[in-house]
Amino acid sequence: MNTELNRESLLKAYRMMRTIREFEERVHTDFATGEIPGFVHLYAGEEASATGVCMHLSGNDYIASTHRGHGHCIAKGVDPAGMMAEIWGKETGTCKGKGGSMHIADLSKGMLGANGIVGGGGPLICGTALAAKLRGDKTVGVCFFGDGASNQGTILEAMNLATVWNLPAIFVAENNGYAETTSPNYSVACENIADRAAAFGMPGVIVDGFDFFAVYEAAGEAVKRAREGGGPTLIEVKVSRYYGHFEGDQQKYRAEGEVQKLRNEKDCLMQFRRHVTADGDISAAELDAIDAEVLAMIDDSVVRAKADPKPGPEELLTDVYVSY
């Protein structure tokens, strides 16, 4: 396994995380103006998870995501401009404005969809992994799900099936500490979600979700194992989210100053920057340049999303069936 990331990979990882962060911060700001319709769930704070995992994936690998799916989409290569337009409900959106934030998908990129149903992705990823196994193409499927979904029957059934069929599947439990308002200390009956892996005969490991390198290493081993026919793995990523369950959530269930403390002390981008610049291989100026490029790209995507047309009325009735 390539645990030593080269310069190019490090810069790619940084750009990916920065893009997710900038995208989410921007949606947060714009949502507050009341212009963005619907429910939006932001991934800010969790960037190292999607990035650490998806850096090991190619376009032919599949991922299934959650209602908090923007980060997974970006990390899997979905065009941020298309996503922005989708969130704004425009015809230029990834799903022509028909899906919205909770249902962004791009199958051409192996992104099987954000999902409005908690735990919806587990069985689906068993399916993509089954197809990969039957074809023998060495691709894998990754199911991202949250601590809330870890209690859904669908996820538990999917982990069982993945072992029974020895599928090239990786289950990534992003434990951000809150299922809506409810803590896993209350809702998850064991100490760690990873503990459940043993019951399904697969390895279960825990990594620090603020540390890109920790996620990257664990995911690398799991993906390698899956590609080689070694079967499924459960990775529990311990992390937190910077915003509410949805935009508009007052978050009274959180501790005073909790998010600020995380931003100051644990932030994945901050840690990553400190790490890669310490030896001078990558300069702060290079990272600043990426920040500026990403910012410009996101700015541009918002400008375009705002200006783009909404779907025409004829779109209401199309795309229900292939033929009918």
Partner 1 sequence: MARKITYQQAINEALDQEMSRDPSVIVMGEDNAGGEGSPGEMDAWGGVLGVTKGLYHKHPGRVLDTPISESAFIGAAIGAACNGLRPVAELMFVDFMGVCFDQIFNQAAKFRYMFGGKAETPVVIRTMYGAGFRAAAQHSQCLYSLFTHVPGLKVVVPSNPYDAKGLLIESIRDNDPVIFFENKVLYTMEGEVPEEIYTVPFGEAAILREGDDVTIVALGRMVNMAQEAAEALQKDGIHCEIIDPRTTSPLDEETILESVEKTGRLVVVDEANPRCSMASDIAGLVVRKAFGALKAPIEQVTAPHVPPPFSDVLEDLYVPNAAKIERAVTRVAEYR
Partner 2 sequence: MNCLLPTDFDRHDDVIVGVIANPASGRDIRRLTAKASVFTAAEKANMVQRLLGPFGALGVDRVMIMPDSSGIAATVERSAQINRSRGESVWPLIEQVKMKSTGGVEDSQNAARIMRDAGARAIVVLGGDGTHRVIAKVVPELPMATLSTGTNNVFPDWREATVTGIATALHVTGRIDPSITLRRNKQLRVNLGEYTDIALVDVCVTRLTHVGARAVWDPDTIAELFVAFAEPDAIGLSSIAAMINPLTRDEPRGLCLRCGTEGRRVLAAIAPGVLETVVIDHCEIMQPGVRYAIRTERGSIALDGEREIEFHRGQVPRVTLELNGPPTLDVSSTLAAAARLGVMATPCAREMLR
Residues that bind partner 1 (CB under 8 A): 37-39, 86, 89-91, 93, 95, 97-103, 115-119, 148-149, 151-154, 177-188, 250-256, 258, 310-311, 313, 315-317, 320
Q: Pick one of partner 1, partner 2, none as the site partner of residue 178 (Cβ within 5 to 8 A by kind).
A: partner 1
Q: Pick one of partner 1, partner 2, none as the site partner of residue 38 (Cβ within 5 to 8 A by kind).
A: partner 1
| CB 138, CB 172: distance < 8 Å | no
Smallest gap from residue 254 Cβ to partner 1 (A): 5
d(Cα 103, Cα 113) in Å, to the nearest integer? 6
Length of the chain measured in residues: 324
d(Cα 66, Cα 64) in Å, to the nearest integer? 7
- Which is closer to partner 1, CB of 79 or CB of 157? 157
Residue 275: in which H helix or E strand, if any? helix 268-278
Q: Side chain identity at 49, as an amino acid letter? A: S
- Which is closer to partner 1, CB of 228 or CB of 258? 258
Smallest gap from residue 198 Cβ to partner 2 (A): 4
Q: Pick one of partner 2, partner 1, none as the site partner of residue 154 (Cβ within 5 to 8 A by kind).
A: partner 1
- Which is closer to partner 1, CB of 85 or CB of 197? 85
Give 173's strand partners. 145, 236
Helix (H, G, I), strand (E, B) or coil at 22: helix
- Give how far Cα 85 sits from Cα of 88, 90, 186, Å: 5, 5, 38
Q: Pick one of partner 1, partner 2, none as the site partner of residue 182 (Cβ within 5 to 8 A by kind).
A: partner 1
Residue 9: in which H helix or E strand, if any? helix 7-32
| CB 237, CB 49: distance < 8 Å | yes
Smallest gap from residue 62 Cβ to partner 2 (A): 21
Q: Pick one of partner 2, partner 1, none as the site partner of residue 221 (Cβ within 5 to 8 A by kind).
A: partner 2
Closest CA to 176 of 120, 231, 107, 253: 253
What is the number of other CB atoms lying within 10 angstroms of the CB of residue 209? 27
Question: Which residues would be at the binding site for partner 2 (CB under 8 A)?
Answer: 1, 3-4, 185, 190-192, 194-195, 197-198, 203-207, 211, 213-214, 216-218, 221-222, 225, 233, 235-236, 275, 278-280
d(Cα 235, Cα 232) in Å, to the nearest integer? 10
Q: Pick one of partner 1, partner 2, none as the site partner of residue 59 (Cβ within 5 to 8 A by kind).
A: none
Smallest gap from residue 312 Cβ to partner 1 (A): 8
Residue 172: in which H helix or E strand, if any? strand 169-175
What is the number of other CB atoms lying within 10 angstroms of the CB of residue 319? 10
Smallest gap from residue 234 Cβ to partner 2 (A): 9
- Which is closer to partner 1, CB of 16 or CB of 78? 78
Helix (H, G, I), strand (E, B) or coil at 235: strand
- Which is closer to partner 2, CB of 10 or CB of 83? 10
Q: Pick one of partner 2, partner 1, none as the site partner of residue 4 (Cβ within 5 to 8 A by kind).
A: partner 2
- Which is closer to partner 2, CB of 4 or CB of 256? 4
| CB 209, CB 182: distance < 8 Å | no
- Which is closer to partner 2, CB of 70 or CB of 225? 225
- Which is closer to partner 1, CB of 111 or CB of 276? 111
